[in-house]
């Protein structure tokens, strides 16, 4: 059985130059450790906000490292140096617009500037690539969704759809800890309970 492979990429000029510590990779790695219950192999990259370098890194993670899921953080705003979505679209075979729409919907519950985000979700080959925000708090919110005071989900996070998307792309099975994020699958796509 092919093991699940996940790539995470932090896009930051200053962090990649060592001017300050990168917060994106640790936040993503920690969240995945809490949320994903399926064993997986993690590939991490910290790179500058250069479109050619981002494209090269995404292609390397998908084509050479055979990652089934790639999560990027940073470089998704309107500033001239924010080119992560441009690089992601450049290497895409298909665009998955629902992911970007849902990320902005979630962020709008917290900040009115969510409409400035250009985050996208795409498919390259059989891999799903998702652009996440740059701040650890926003990463968590985007992946898990919006909760009310009692902890109930009001707006579903994007990771609830990731497992089924990977399944539809014929990738390894992904399970999540339901207390972090409850992955949705139609009844016809669920595994029977283990005896």
Q: Domains plus CATH for the chain?
A: 4-189 (3.40.980.10)
pLDDT at 152: 86
With a cut of 90, say whether residue 195 has pLDDT above it. Answer: no
Q: What is the mean pLDDT of residues 74-96?
A: 96
Phi-psi region of 138 (alpha: psi -120 to 50; beta: other; left: phi over 0): alpha
pLDDT, one tens digit per residue, over 23-52 is 999 999 999 999 999 999 999 999 999 999
Q: What is the maximal distance between C-alpha atoms in the chain?
A: 55
Q: What is the mean pLDDT of residues 133-161?
A: 92
Identify the band that residue 143 occupies on the pLDDT scale cut at 50, 70 and 90. Answer: very high
116 or 188, greater pLDDT: 116
With a cut of 60, say whether residue 65 has pLDDT above it. Answer: yes
pLDDT at 2: 83
Q: What is the mean pLDDT of residues 127-144?
A: 95
pLDDT at 6: 98
For residue 77, what are the CA distances in angstroms to 12, 140, 160, 184? 12, 18, 24, 29
Q: What is the pTM of this model?
A: 0.95
Per DSSP, which regions of the chain are E strands? 4-11, 40-47, 69-73, 94-95, 121-124, 127-132, 145-147, 153-156
pLDDT at 177: 95
pLDDT at 69: 98
Mean pLDDT of the chain: 93
């Amino acid at each position: 059985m092919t093991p699940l492979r996940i790539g995470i990429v932090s896009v930051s000029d200053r962090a990649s130059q060592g001017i300050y510590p990168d917060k994106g990779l640790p936040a993503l790695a920690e969240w995945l450790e809490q949320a994903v219950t399926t064993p997986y192999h993690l590939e991490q990259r910290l790179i500058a906000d250069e479109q050619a370098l981002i494209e090269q890194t995404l292609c390397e993670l998908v084509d050479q490292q055979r990652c089934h899921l790639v999560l990027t953080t940073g470089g998704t705003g309107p500033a001239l140096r924010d080119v992560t979505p441009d690089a992601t679209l450049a290497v895409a075979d298909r665009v998955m617009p629902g992911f970007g729409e849902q990320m902005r919907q979630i962020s709008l519950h917290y900040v009115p500037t969510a409409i400035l985000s250009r985050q996208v979700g795409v498919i390259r080959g059989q891999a799903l690539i998702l652009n996440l925000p740059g701040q650890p708090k926003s990463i968590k919110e985007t992946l898990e969704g919006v909760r009310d005071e009692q902890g109930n989900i009001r707006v579903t996070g994007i990771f609830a759809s990731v497992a089924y998307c990977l399944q539809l792309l014929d990738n390894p099975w992904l399970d999540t800890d339901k207390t972090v994020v409850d992955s949705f699958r139609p009844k016809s796509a669920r595994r029977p309970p283990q005896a």
